[in-house]
Amino acid sequence: MNRRQMLGAAGAVLALGPQAVAQAKAASGTMPLLLPPRLKAGDTVGLIEPASATWEPFAITLIEEALANLGLKSKRAHNILDRDGYFAGDDKARAGGVNQMFADPEVAAIMSVRGGWGTARILPYLDFDLIRQNSKVLIGYSDITALHMAIHAKTGMVTFHGPVGISAWGKRSLETFKPLLFDGATPDYVNPVAEEDRLAQRNWRTQTITPGKARGRLLGGNLTVMTALVGTPYLPSFDGAILFFEDIDEAVYRVDRMLTQLGQAGILGRVAGVIVGNCTDCGQGNSIGGFTLSEILTHHLQPLGVPAYSGAFIGHLTDQFTVPEGGLVEMDAEAGTFRLLEPAVR
């Protein structure tokens, strides 16, 4: 395409208005960063269920009590406690619950009740223009990775990988959640010191894969969910990003397979650094011998030549970090830490 053709194409997009411009930027991976407003006492949190159903109504009551203890009100999406097979309502109903909470002017933040499976199925039914025009704190993890990836790809909005409603909400979870979302803090993410009666700490240890420091936008989440979005329009650009991932109940060979896919899709080769969270209960399955998880991580990440470490306090844990999807961070792979360089809320 020559210069005249390029100018003509740009003019055609501009003639279609702001919506087309935003869509074109999203498709090219150049969507401007969009920060949601910070939380304050008395704000209302919209509860959504974009994936699996909640079978016990009292679980929602406990979530509402936990939010009240944080000084927050709560509001249920229309599909809360609905069931369609193993989903919280059919695909359009679950997407409607998400759209409902972004459209509601009373709702300041949105939290997923739980993960499970099914969020990817609702992505075609989300109103990304509505979401872009009503930026709000969105928090969750596991299957909610699909929502984080799609919203960042389509709107540029920073979202938050952290506890879901049914999480334990222990002290260590709140140590990053409250400063990050209420105060606009820029925390240092350093794994907690485990209280163990041992000569050397064993829990929550980090391991350096490739030493070094790197800066970039933090993007990632659940490895299985993220890998399943490869080839769809719902995966953001990872050029220069700090990739993070975690998982649960995956045999080592499946982690190997997923990292192979990310590598062959050209994603791993674009990142500036890698932070591996916890891979909870990720063993060798029924195989005898074979590779360990550490060996597989080394196979795939060390040849990238970028800083990488594993064991970050992210993932399917009783407590976990809350981290900004799209936030600018600097990582130190040798120290096994990273820090936010600018506020992730406005």
Please report the DSSP string for 290-302 in residue order: ---HHHHHHHHHG
Task: Classify residue 76: in a domain, yes or no.
Answer: yes
- pLDDT value, residue 14: 39
Interval 152-177: pLDDT, tens: 999 999 999 999 999 988 888 899 99
Its domain, for residue 250, covers: 188-340
Q: Are 155 and 305 in contact (CB under 8 A)?
A: no
49, 246, 250, 325: the active-site residue = 246
Q: Please check whether residues 220 and 313 belong to one and the same domain.
A: yes
Q: Please check whether residues 245 and 119 belong to one and the same domain.
A: no
Task: Classify residue 12: in a domain, yes or no.
Answer: no
Q: What is the mean pLDDT of residues 56-61?
A: 95
- pLDDT value, residue 30: 58
Q: How many helices (H) and strands (E) does the chain have?
A: 11, 14
pLDDT band at residue 27 using 50, 70 and 90 as cut-offs: very low
Q: Please check whether residues 331 and 196 belong to one and the same domain.
A: yes
| Token pair of 346 as six digits | 């406005």
Interval 190-216: pLDDT, tens: 998 877 777 787 788 899 999 999 999
- pLDDT value, residue 19: 44
pLDDT band at residue 8 using 50, 70 and 90 as cut-offs: very low
- pLDDT value, residue 48: 98
> Catalytic site residue 142?
yes
Q: Which residue in this structure is represented by tokens 């279609």?
A: 16
Q: Please check whether residues 146 and 78 belong to one and the same domain.
A: yes
pLDDT band at residue 255 using 50, 70 and 90 as cut-offs: very high
Q: Residue 294 is part of a domain; what is its CATH number?
A: 3.50.30.60
Q: Which of residues 138, 169, 200 is at a domain's end?
A: 169
Q: Residue 84 is part of a domain; what is its CATH number?
A: 3.40.50.10740
Number of domains within the chain = 2
pLDDT band at residue 31 using 50, 70 and 90 as cut-offs: confident
Q: Please check whether residues 196 and 237 belong to one and the same domain.
A: yes
Residue 26 has pLDDT above 50, yes or no: no
148, 310, 316, 325: the active-site residue = 316
142, 167, 173, 310: the active-site residue = 142
Q: Please check whether residues 162 and 51 belong to one and the same domain.
A: yes
- pLDDT value, residue 199: 76
Whole-number average pLDDT of the chain: 90
Q: Which residue in this structure is represented by tokens 């040798």?
A: 334
> Catalytic site residue 316?
yes
Task: Classify residue 274: in a domain, yes or no.
Answer: yes
Q: Please check whether residues 221 and 120 belong to one and the same domain.
A: no
Task: Classify residue 183: in a domain, yes or no.
Answer: no
Q: Please check whether residues 128 and 240 belong to one and the same domain.
A: no
CA distance 129 to 152: 12
Single-letter residue type at 182: F
| Token pair of 331 as six digits | 């990582």
> With pLDDT > 90 as the criterion, what percentage of the chain qualifies?
81
3-state SS assignment for residue 137 = strand
CA angle 25–29–33, rounded 5-degree value = 80
Interval 84-103: pLDDT, tens: 999 999 999 999 999 999 99
Single-letter residue type at 127: D
CA distance 37 to 35: 7
Q: Which of residues 126, 142, 169 is at a domain's end?
A: 169
The distance from CA 123 to its chain's CA centroid, rounded to whole angstroms, is 15
Q: Please check whether residues 255 and 150 belong to one and the same domain.
A: no
pLDDT band at residue 1 using 50, 70 and 90 as cut-offs: very low
* Cβ-proximal residues to 143 (8 Å cutoff; 6+ apart), any chain: 50, 51, 52, 115, 116, 117, 118, 119, 120, 222, 225
Instruction: Tell which wins on pLDDT, 26 or 320.
Output: 320
> Catalytic site residue 246?
yes
Q: Please check whether residues 199 and 334 belong to one and the same domain.
A: yes
> With pLDDT > 70 as the criterion, what percentage of the chain qualifies?
90
- pLDDT value, residue 284: 65
Q: Which of residues 118, 140, 169 is at a domain's end?
A: 169
Task: Classify residue 182: in a domain, yes or no.
Answer: no
Task: Classify residue 346: in a domain, yes or no.
Answer: no
Q: Please check whether residues 108 and 146 belong to one and the same domain.
A: yes
Interval 66-88: pLDDT, tens: 999 999 999 999 999 999 999 99
pLDDT band at residue 140 using 50, 70 and 90 as cut-offs: very high
Q: Please check whether residues 277 and 329 belong to one and the same domain.
A: yes
Task: Classify residue 15: in a domain, yes or no.
Answer: no
Task: Classify residue 176: in a domain, yes or no.
Answer: no
Interval 281-313: pLDDT, tens: 887 655 556 899 999 999 999 999 999 999 999
